[in-house]
């Protein structure tokens, strides 16, 4: 069977399910009594099992199968959530992740999972004979958790005027053949209607793995009294209670579906209704390969270029009909452009969602307690940025836990809460997205950093004496720097913060660090919204068109020749009381044609790099435009003061200025 | 002999014929608007929009130290692809595809027409035609561009 075409989908979906399992197990750790979470994990494990079995990945299927059994045990109150179970689940998920990763890398997804399978088996069987931990609560009608299938059946039955009963059967103390009695009770029940569910499950009842009591959900047309009487006819049955409660629950359930805000009122079936609303109300999505989007974008650009030509032709021909059509087409294509660009945007959550689990593991390894708080996970970034930003963030988070957050005892001594907090924030600001990692740990020791930097020969002592704190902290990003006195397993992997800095700068972003000793550090990453589209100002120098990114423009101005001063033959202008060097774009780029100084007035674009400024004299300003950033190709890897190129409406290529290179 | 052949695209520079392996040629284009790139070596003519891809163009004459020539209706740009680099080469004309038996390819003479021999892969004699085979990765030496442009910056 040809599987390769499904492989990508399989891998993507598996990753999603694993991520969701990771999240849910983390949640479960906080709320061990919340069975809806178990239900959720079960669902993911189940889907994963089905998928991997049909793709022929036996080890994956086996492991998920045994996980399912354990989860089923929890769900049916045969197992209690313990740290041991949670750890086992985490380990299993790790194994599954490895296997899926191996499949993704072209491997066979095989892995020796015997140890964990044995552990899970032990958990499953070793504790399965423990009595249900809370009989009282269990016998309460409606306590059972139903899956969607069962709920649907019950709902439909109610609609068809059947009754749904929650029946509790208790056998006599001296009952000798429990399974037989139970079997007889089931027989009786089957004659009166249909058994939807039993707690414990029929399997376990047949193996006598229950105390004296079991619950059954029955769909029937009979009256409750009849059922009770018929059941009591079976010998050795002590007590029977029949409650017709489901009607209100299911109705309630429906009400919740209509009004998600009231979710929480359905205490008995928490989770179930939430599930439904989220799956039905969630928008429909389709997975698209990024290459296809790129191709679409390229095709679209060609369309834009042809549009430019059409516009020109229609202007020359002066035909009204043609004009109108071309205008309509222009409008439609600019809408289309927005849509295509938006398609490439994905929430940063895709990266953030793997961190809670990672933090838990790290904190555990290092004997620290850390809580991770994430805000702004819905912030959107271009797919190309999302793919690259994960590693630097992991590094910074590791750094915060390893160097930032202190051990609990030390925190207590310093009068802080024993649990350290790391805030992971993402938010939009202007044309940028900021991602911040803030911890309330020890902060950065200025003295230590300086000593290390001097020792490593990164700065010399005299020079560093009047460094500001910020300048000192910047040294952390210098290559060959590590603040840990002992290289730990966590951050001593041969990569320092310099790697983080390089990565982020390669994405067109910046990273800065701020810190106060004793109260924590803040790493802030500034990223462009997208790597492929930037707002820019088009300008002309001679016959040539250049694009200047708006992000580096402060404003534009018109200056008279008489306003130009010189300092050591360098032309300067007074811009709002500040003396700013003036650069002629034509001269800088040796543009053929007359120079700018032959004119009375000149358009100047004031550009900035950090807090430094420069004036760029150009022949004329064309206007603001969104442009598609394209590389100059591998052959011209680095061209002075040019960060790339774009294709204009007329099909010609215009270069994009790199203002950072202009200002020293 | 073993009877192996290679297929080459034949093009002209001055009055000589050159060949480049057809596998390395993506397309042959007419000259469209070339956007100049400032402060690059003289043989880098600029970039063109090749169906949405910005492609660098180099003038092969000036790369080989020959005199540049005004473009005319025969001038073509051969888009070649080596080492994940896509570059267009301006040539006088390109109008032939030939199969050359590998046995007919001889090593380059030490000095061939004043051109630095390291660019050349060999010479093939076909009838009375002499075909010079190019070694593209040498022609498109990236370091050379970078170095020249660094010198340009200093100057």
Disruptive mutation site among A633, A644, A649, A661 for chain B (greatest number of B CBs within 10 Å): A633
Instruction: Give the 3-state secondary structure of residue A577.
Output: coil
Predicted pLDDT at B55: 92
The mean pLDDT of A230-254, rounded to a whole number, is 69
Predicted pLDDT at A547: 92
Predicted pLDDT at A423: 93
Q: Return the HEC string of A311-368.
A: HHHHHHHCCHHHHHHHHHHHHHHHHHHHHHHHHCEEECHHHHCCHHHHHHHHHHHHCC
φ, ψ at B25 (rounded to 5°): -100, 125
Predicted pLDDT at A142: 41
Predicted pLDDT at A531: 63
**A68-93 CB burial, b ≥16 within 10 A, e <16:** bbbbbbbbbbbbebeeebeebbbebb
Q: If you search the block for the tokens 């002629």, which residue do you land on? A: A584
Query: Which member of B36, B86, B152 has the closest CB to residue A633?
Result: B86
Predicted pLDDT at B57: 93
Predicted pLDDT at A426: 92
pLDDT tens digits, B26-76: 999 998 889 999 888 888 899 998 887 889 999 988 888 888 888 888 899
Q: Do A478 and A461 contact (CB within 8 A), yes or no?
A: no
List, in sequence order, the alpha helices (H) in A56-140: 58-75, 83-104, 114-126, 135-139
B35/A652 CB distance under 8 A: yes
B35/A631 CB distance under 8 A: no
Predicted pLDDT at A119: 82
A616 touches chain B (CB under 8 A): no
pLDDT tens digits, A453-467: 888 777 778 877 778
Out of A106-110, A137-141, A373-377, give the one with best mean pLDDT: A373-377
Structure-model confidence comparison of residues A227 and A176, the more confident one: A227
Burial category of A190 from C-beta neighbours within 10 Å (exposed 0-12, middle 13-18, buried 19 and up): exposed
* pLDDT cut 90: percent of chain A above it: 6
Predicted pLDDT at B87: 92
pLDDT tens digits, B117-141: 667 778 888 878 888 888 887 778 7
Query: Which member of A301, A636, A647 has the closest CB to residue B56?
Result: A636
Q: Which residues of A are catalytic?
A: 46, 68, 399
How many helices (H) and strands (E) would you count in chain B?
A: 3, 11
Query: Which member of B46, B49, B152 has the closest CB to residue A647?
Result: B49
Residue in B53, B65, B132, B124 with CA at minimum distance from that of residue A635: B53
Lowest mean pLDDT among A100-109, A121-130, A646-655: A121-130
Query: pLDDT confidence of A487, banded at 50, 70, 90?
Result: very low
Smallest CA–CA distance, residue B4 to chain A, in Å, is 32
B56 touches chain A (CB under 8 A): yes
Question: Could you tell me how many residues make up chain A?
Answer: 664
Distance CA A538, CA A545 (A): 7
Query: pLDDT confidence of A147, banded at 50, 70, 90?
Result: low
pLDDT tens digits, A317-355: 888 888 899 889 888 987 887 788 778 788 888 888 888
| Residue A664 in this model has a pLDDT that exceeds 60 | yes
Q: Do A655 and A546 contact (CB within 8 A), yes or no?
A: yes
Predicted pLDDT at A604: 92
Task: Give one DSSP letter per residue of A459-511, joined into a string.
Answer: S-HHHHTT--HHHHHHGGGSTT----SS--TTT-SS--HHHHHHHHHHTT-EE
Distance CA A448, CA A476 (A): 11
The mean pLDDT of A519-536, rounded to a whole number, is 80
Predicted pLDDT at B117: 62
Query: pLDDT confidence of A180, banded at 50, 70, 90?
Result: confident
Query: pLDDT confidence of A4, banded at 50, 70, 90?
Result: low
Q: pTM score, two decimals? A: 0.52
Predicted pLDDT at B71: 84
| Residue A413 in this model has a pLDDT that exceeds 80 | yes
Number of A to B CB contacts under 8 A, please give it. Answer: 90
The mean pLDDT of A546-552, rounded to a whole number, is 87
| Residue A278 in this model has a pLDDT that exceeds 50 | no
A647 touches chain B (CB under 8 A): yes
Distance CA A258, CA A253 (A): 9
Predicted pLDDT at A495: 52
List, in sequence order, the alpha helices (H) in A233-319: 246-258, 272-281, 290-317
A293 touches chain B (CB under 8 A): no
B54 touches chain A (CB under 8 A): yes
Characterise B14 by phi-psi region: left (phi > 0), alpha (psi -120 to 50), beta (else). left
B35/A544 CB distance under 8 A: yes
Residue in A473, A443, A442 with CA at minimum distance from that of residue A458: A473
Predicted pLDDT at B79: 93
A633/B47 CB distance under 8 A: yes
Predicted pLDDT at B90: 92
pLDDT tens digits, A562-601: 888 888 888 899 888 888 999 989 888 888 876 555 677 8
Half-sphere exposure of B13 (CA within 13 A, CB side): 24
Predicted pLDDT at A248: 54
pLDDT tens digits, A20-55: 888 888 888 888 888 888 888 888 888 888 888 888
Disruptive mutation site among B32, B44, B49 for chain A (greatest number of A CBs within 10 Å): B49
The residues with which B125 forms a beta bridge, in sequence order, are B130
Query: pLDDT confidence of B112, banded at 50, 70, 90?
Result: low
Structure-model confidence comparison of residues A451 and B83, the more confident one: A451
Q: What is the mean pLDDT of chain A?
A: 78
Predicted pLDDT at A126: 65
| Residue A127 in this model has a pLDDT that exceeds 60 | no
pLDDT tens digits, A592-606: 876 555 677 889 999
Structure-model confidence comparison of residues B19 and B138, the more confident one: B19
| Residue A474 in this model has a pLDDT that exceeds 70 | yes
Lowest mean pLDDT among A69-73, A143-147, A659-663: A143-147
Predicted pLDDT at B115: 52
The mean pLDDT of A214-240, rounded to a whole number, is 81
């Amino acid at each position: 069977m040809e599987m390769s075409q499904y492989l990508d989908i399989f891998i993507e979906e598996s990753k999603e399910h694993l991520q969701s399992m990771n999240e849910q197990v983390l949640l479960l750790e906080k709320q061990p009594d919340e069975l809806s979470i178990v239900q959720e994990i079960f669902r993911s494990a189940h889907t994963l099992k089905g998928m991997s079995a049909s793709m022929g990945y036996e080890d994956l299927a086996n492991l998920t199968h045994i996980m399912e059994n354990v989860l089923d045990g929890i769900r049916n109150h045969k197992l209690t959530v313990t740290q041991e179970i949670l750890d086992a689940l985490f380990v299993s998920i790790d194994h599954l992740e490895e296997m899926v990763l191996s499949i993704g890398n072209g491997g066979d997804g095989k892995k020796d999972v015997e140890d964990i399978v044995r552990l899970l088996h032990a958990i499953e069987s070793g504790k399965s004979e423990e009595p249900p931990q809370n009989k009282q609560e269990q016998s309460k009608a409606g306590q059972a958790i139903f899956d969607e299938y069962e709920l649907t059946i019950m709902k439909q039955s109610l609609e068809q005027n059947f009754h749904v009963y929650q029946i509790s059967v208790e056998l006599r103390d001296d009952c000798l053949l429990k399974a037989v009695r139970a079997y007889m009770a089931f027989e009786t029940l089957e004659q009166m209607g249909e058994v939807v569910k039993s707690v414990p499950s029929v399997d376990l009842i047949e193996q006598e793995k229950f105390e004296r009591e079991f619950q059954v959900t029955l769909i029937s047309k009979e009256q409750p009294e009849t059922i009770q009487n018929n059941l009591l006819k079976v010998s050795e049955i002590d007590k029977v209670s029949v409650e017709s409660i489901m009607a209100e629950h299911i109705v309630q359930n429906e009400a919740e579906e209509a009004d998600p805000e009231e979710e929480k009122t359905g205490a008995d079936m928490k989770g179930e209704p939430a599930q439904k609303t989220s799956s039905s109300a969630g928008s429909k999505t389709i997975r698209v390969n990024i290459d296809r989007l790129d191709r679409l974008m390229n095709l679209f650009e060609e369309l834009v270029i042809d549009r430019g030509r059409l516009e020109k032709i229609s202007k020359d021909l002066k035909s009204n009909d043609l004009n109108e059509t071309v205008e309509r087409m222009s409008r439609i294509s600019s809408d289309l452009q927005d849509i295509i660009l938006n398609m490439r945007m994905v929430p940063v959550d895709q990266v953030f969602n793997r961190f809670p689990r990672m933090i838990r593991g790290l904190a555990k390894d290092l004997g620290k307690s850390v809580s991770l708080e994430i805000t702004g996970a819905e912030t959107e970034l271009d797919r190309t940025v999302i793919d690259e930003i994960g590693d630097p963030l992991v590094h910074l988070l590791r750094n915060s836990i390893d160097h930032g957050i202190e051990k609990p005892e030390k925190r207590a001594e310093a009068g802080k809460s024993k649990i350290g907090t790391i805030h992971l924030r993402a938010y939009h600001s202007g044309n940028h997205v900021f991602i911040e990692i803030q911890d309330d740990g020890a902060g950065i020791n200025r003295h230590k950093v300086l000593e290390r930097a001097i020792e490593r020969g990164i700065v010399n002592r005299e020079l560093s004496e009047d460094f500001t704190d910020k300048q000192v902290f910047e040294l952390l990003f210098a290559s060959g720097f590590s603040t840990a006195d002992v290289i730990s397993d966590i951050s001593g992997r041969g990569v320092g913060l310099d790697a983080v800095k390089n990565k982020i700068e390669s994405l067109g972003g910046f990273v800065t660090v701020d810190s106060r000793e004793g109260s924590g550090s803040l790493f802030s990453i500034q990223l462009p919204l997208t790597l492929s589209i930037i707002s820019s100002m088009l300008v002309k120098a001679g016959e040539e068109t250049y694009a200047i990114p708006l992000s580096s423009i402060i404003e534009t101005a018109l200056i008279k020749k008489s306003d130009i001063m010189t300092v050591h033959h360098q032309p300067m202008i007074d811009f709002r009381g500040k003396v700013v060097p003036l650069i002629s774009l034509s001269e800088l780029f040796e543009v053929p044609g007359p120079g700018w100084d032959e004119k009375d007035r000149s358009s100047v674009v004031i550009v900035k790099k950090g807090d430094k400024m420069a004036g760029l004299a150009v022949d004329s300003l064309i206007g603001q435009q969104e442009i598609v950033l394209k590389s100059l190709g591998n052959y011209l890897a680095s061209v002075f003061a040019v960060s790339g190129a774009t294709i204009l409406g007329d099909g010609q290529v215009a270069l994009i200025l790199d203002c950072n290179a202009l200002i020293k | 002999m073993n009877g192996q052949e290679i297929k080459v695209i034949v093009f002209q520079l001055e009055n000589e014929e050159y060949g480049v392996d057809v596998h390395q040629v993506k397309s042959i284009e007419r000259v469209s608007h070339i956007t100049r790139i400032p402060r690059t070596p003289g043989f880098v003519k600029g970039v063109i929009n090749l169906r949405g891809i910005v492609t660098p163009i180099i003038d092969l004459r000036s790369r080989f130290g020959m005199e540049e020539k005004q473009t005319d209706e025969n001038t073509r740009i051969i888009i070649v692809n080596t080492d994940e680099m896509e570059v267009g080469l301006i040539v006088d004309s390109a109008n032939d595809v030939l199969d050359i038996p590998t046995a007919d390819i001889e090593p380059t003479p030490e000095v061939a027409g004043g051109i630095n021999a390291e660019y050349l892969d060999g010479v093939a004699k076909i009838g009375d035609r002499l075909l010079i085979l190019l070694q593209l990765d040498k022609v498109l030496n990236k370091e050379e561009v970078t170095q020249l442009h660094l010198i340009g910056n200093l100057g």
